[in-house]
Amino acid sequence: MTKSIVCACEDVLVEEVRRAFLAGNRDLESVKRYTGFGTGPCQGKSCVSLVARELLRLGATPAEVLPFTVRPPYRPVPLGALAAIAPDELPLDDGVPVAPAEARTPAAELAPLPARADVVIVGGGIMGLALAYELTRRGTRDVLVLERAYLNAGASGRNGGGVRAQWTTPTMIRLARRSLELCDRFAVEMGVNVWFRRGGYLFLAPTPEQVERIERNADFHRREGLRTRVLGRAEALEVVPQLDPARFLAASYNPDDGVVFPWPFLWGYAGRAEAAGARVATFTTVTGFERAEKRVTAVVTDRGRVACDLVVVAAGAWSKEVAALAGVALPNRPTRHEILVTEPMKPWLDPLVSVLGNGLYFSQSQRGELVGGMGDPLEPEGVVQGSTLRFLARFARAAIDCIPLLAGTRVLRQWAGCYDVTPDNNPVLGPAGFENFHQLSGFVGHGFMMAPAVAELYADWLTGRGKHELFEQFTLDRFTRGPVAREDFIIG
């Protein structure tokens, strides 16, 4: 095996590019999400041409070796300059590329799909892959994951990597705590570094109402065994001295919350599931389902048909459209959320900071970059993954309000993904429409942190090891049974 390095920032070897190619990834974007090349401080400047040359050598055509999706800003721009732009005068969609160009590997060059599988999972995001892994661990080997694009193409490859236990119901707290435990062990058990760091979460409360809310929550958290504390301004400044104290009254702080780099989670789950016998077929789109009475009998794809005993729809923001292919109506509403990353800085920020009320959040990655996002109340429903100047301007203003020193920090890249929003901000789980047609969707802005714990419980249930209350609580029919309790401690 050659030890030649193509990406010095991320230590990516030629061999890894070759493996990515053999898995069907022929354009730079897919290979980037498969290997992690080009994500380091040089932002691909040194490695893009090397990887492109290697792909051509391996047999990709120049038309397939597409560059990364162009994501503004085109050169590093200080947050201070972006904050000078008035966001309200900017459209929600200002002409920046709306969807990345997706290279498609010719179907003939991919390994054929099996004629049947015990379990077919639609969607190769963290939900689908974590479930595939947990099923194989429990002895269900004949699992097929179908993914429309490349791994990390959906929200799982576009999120903020926040993992927190500060929730408002016992169920969510317990799930999140379990996921945090699994994050602690993930790198060692799965053999892949996920850059997990427990720097805490600091929620800033700018109004007396928000202070009351975090005080109530903190009492409840302590009863659930969390170390959440309400900090006054002075104490919050001990945690993040750069905060502008005029912008908040108090803060909720749990030092045990953390952040991860999401991509390796998918590599880890996919790799271990495949090693145990599951198959992950990328560049394969589910286009329909065959049905007989109360059961789904086969999944139809653009690369053929697969007969199956059980289907799990884990298609994130696309779940509504995938479920509709079987005639099942989900209430989910996909909504774009934008996010950005700045130039790397020396470590200065421990927790993920979030401002209650305006949806701003940011944390510092292990590489020193600030990673941050902010929802937009005017964002319309729809699967849109383009980037806007309006977001940059809104984020810059809110971030500088919170930490004035950020004005000089330069933004390197921005991107967007979709939240999969349900009416009560809770997931849709379990069979819907057909007895063997399961849903694993509707995780809004917190699916990444829930996936490890939810997948364990789901696999237990599917393999006859007991049904957790979660699967009674979050059924699709709850929306027709009567009023539902909303989870409102949502970021973004």
Indicate whether 78 belongs to the interface with ligand FAD (CB under 6 A).
Answer: no
Among 186, 362, 391, 443, binds ligand FAD (CB under 6 A): 443
Q: How would you label 422-454 residue by residue, b for 16+ Cβ within 10 Å and e otherwise?
A: bebbbbbbbbbbbeebbbbbbbbbbbbbbbbbb
- Residue at token pair 């479930």: 131
- Residue at token pair 């991107």: 415
* Part in contact with ligand FAD (CB under 6 A); list of ranges 17-25, 70-78, 390-398, 438-446: 438-446
Which one, 125 or 268, has the nearer CB to ligand FAD?
125
* Part in contact with ligand FAD (CB under 6 A); list of ranges 132-140, 342-350, 444-452, 457-465: 444-452
CB distance 459 to 440 below 8 Å: no
* Part in contact with ligand FAD (CB under 6 A); list of ranges 5-13, 140-148, 398-406, 473-481: 140-148
Which one, 46 or 168, has the nearer CB to ligand FAD?
168
Which one, 285 or 473, has the nearer CB to ligand FAD?
285
Indicate whether 316 belongs to the interface with ligand FAD (CB under 6 A).
Answer: yes
In the chain, the amino acid numbered 318 is W
Which one, 193 or 285, has the nearer CB to ligand FAD?
285
d(Cα 231, Cα 211) in Å, to the nearest integer?
Answer: 10
Chain centre to alpha carbon of residue 227 = 26
| Binding characters for ligand FAD, 226-265, by CB under 6 A (x = yes) | ----------------------------------------
CB distance 414 to 340 below 8 Å: yes
Which one, 253 or 263, has the nearer CB to ligand FAD?
263
d(Cα 95, Cα 228) in Å, to the nearest integer?
Answer: 43
Indicate whether 149 belongs to the interface with ligand FAD (CB under 6 A).
Answer: yes
Indicate whether 355 belongs to the interface with ligand FAD (CB under 6 A).
Answer: no
Indicate whether 362 belongs to the interface with ligand FAD (CB under 6 A).
Answer: no
- Contacts with ligand FAD by CB under 6 A: the residue count is 40
Joined tokens for residue 362: 């940011």
Indicate whether 155 belongs to the interface with ligand FAD (CB under 6 A).
Answer: yes
Which one, 176 or 250, has the nearer CB to ligand FAD?
176
Which one, 253 or 283, has the nearer CB to ligand FAD?
283
* Part in contact with ligand FAD (CB under 6 A); list of ranges 110-118, 190-198, 443-451, 482-490: 443-451
264 cis-preceded (ω within 30 degrees of 0):
no
Among 79, 120, 315, 399, binds ligand FAD (CB under 6 A): 315
| Binding characters for ligand FAD, 168-207, by CB under 6 A (x = yes) | ----------------------------------------
Q: How many CB atoms lie within 10 A of CB 469?
A: 10
Report the half-sphere exposure of 41 (CA within 13 A, side-chain side).
Answer: 11
Joined tokens for residue 407: 């004005």
- Positions in the binding site for ligand FAD (CB under 6 A): 122-128, 146-149, 153-156, 158-162, 285-286, 314-318, 322, 337, 339, 373, 417-419, 443, 445-449
